[in-house]
Amino acid sequence: MKGCLFYSSAEAVRNKGFIDDLIHSAEQLDMELTLLVDEEHPDEETDFIMFRDRNPELSAKWEAAGFRLFNRSEVNRIANDKFKTYELAALLGIPAVPTKKVGSANDLSAFPIVLKTRDGHGGHEVSLCQSKEETEVFFNKFAGRHIISQPFVESNSTDIRVFMLGNEVLGAVKRMGQDSFKSNYTLGGSVERYALSASQEKEVQTIAKALKSDYIGIDFLLLPDGRWLLNELEDPVGARSLYVTHDISPAAELMKYVKRKLEGEVIG
């Protein structure tokens, strides 16, 4: 099997360790995996593309050309739009952080409030605003971008990221922020392994099945009373916190999954 691993050049540098692990894991399974970046394109002999960019237009183009993508383009489109993620949660009956589209500071009246760009990621382009003046700063900074608002939900700067491989849970981590309401590990937060309850596992499987996803992260705010609220989907999802909390290689598990899926599709 011959595959391509697609990243932007900047993300390829930042994720070199994961890329190396993916390529090595592919070799162990007698698979060929070649890194593509930016304007490079797969050749006609490519059996699959591991799409690790936030670019649903490009992934849709390659899907239309007949390539098998992990994840499919529709997953990339929904996961990289926070309002579409909220709409999916509402459709599935999954408790989620209330989310609204907003066009200006005049649309807001209750504070504190969280503002986000619809397509931001990694905890960037997010601000906790205490006043209308602070929201105006956010709108000016991201002028021309699509913005959403969410009420501030007290979670003690704690959330749960669940890593899904197909419809199964690969692992889950609790992320705790430090000196910030954001809990992202890459922003300095701490992480620990987290065990899902049966009801939590059922909810993440419901989301993965609806998306028909291959490998995603699902983020929930963890409330003080133990309940959780869906906050965001991540495609592509980073695996740093999974590496440090679990005795597995996420790259190896992902490549084994890809090989099983491709062999099953050929047989089918």
Contacts of 10 (CB under 8 A, 6+ apart): none
Are 165 and 142 in the same domain? Answer: no
**Domain range enclosing 147:** 100-151
Q: Is 161 among the domain residues?
A: yes
Q: What is the CATH number of the domain that holds 166?
A: 3.30.470.20
User: CA end-to-end span of the chain, whole Å?
Assistant: 17
Q: Is 257 among the domain residues?
A: no
> What is the full per-residue pLDDT of the chain (268 aa) written as tens digits?
999 999 999 999 999 999 999 999 999 999 999 999 999 999 999 999 999 999 999 999 999 999 999 999 999 999 999 999 999 999 999 999 999 999 999 999 899 999 999 998 877 899 999 999 999 999 999 999 999 999 999 998 899 999 999 999 999 999 998 765 554 545 567 899 999 999 999 999 999 999 999 999 999 999 999 999 999 999 999 999 999 999 999 999 999 999 999 999 866 5
Are 129 and 172 in the same domain? Answer: no
- pLDDT score for 152: 94
Are 135 and 116 in the same domain? Answer: yes
Q: Is 95 among the domain residues?
A: no
Other Cβ atoms less than 10 A from the Cβ of 116: the count is 25
162: helix, coil or strand? strand
- pLDDT score for 121: 85
What amino acid is encoded at 170 in this protein?
L
Are 145 and 200 in the same domain? Answer: no
Place of tokens 């397509």: 119
Among 143, 145, 177, smallest CA distance to 159 is for 177
Q: Is 48 among the domain residues?
A: no
Q: How many domains does the chain have?
A: 2
Are 107 and 168 in the same domain? Answer: no
Are 133 and 192 in the same domain? Answer: no
Q: Is 94 among the domain residues?
A: no
- pLDDT score for 124: 83
Are 175 and 236 in the same domain? Answer: yes
The residue length of the chain stands at: 268
Among 262, 264, 265, smallest CA distance to 1 is for 262
Q: Is 56 among the domain residues?
A: no
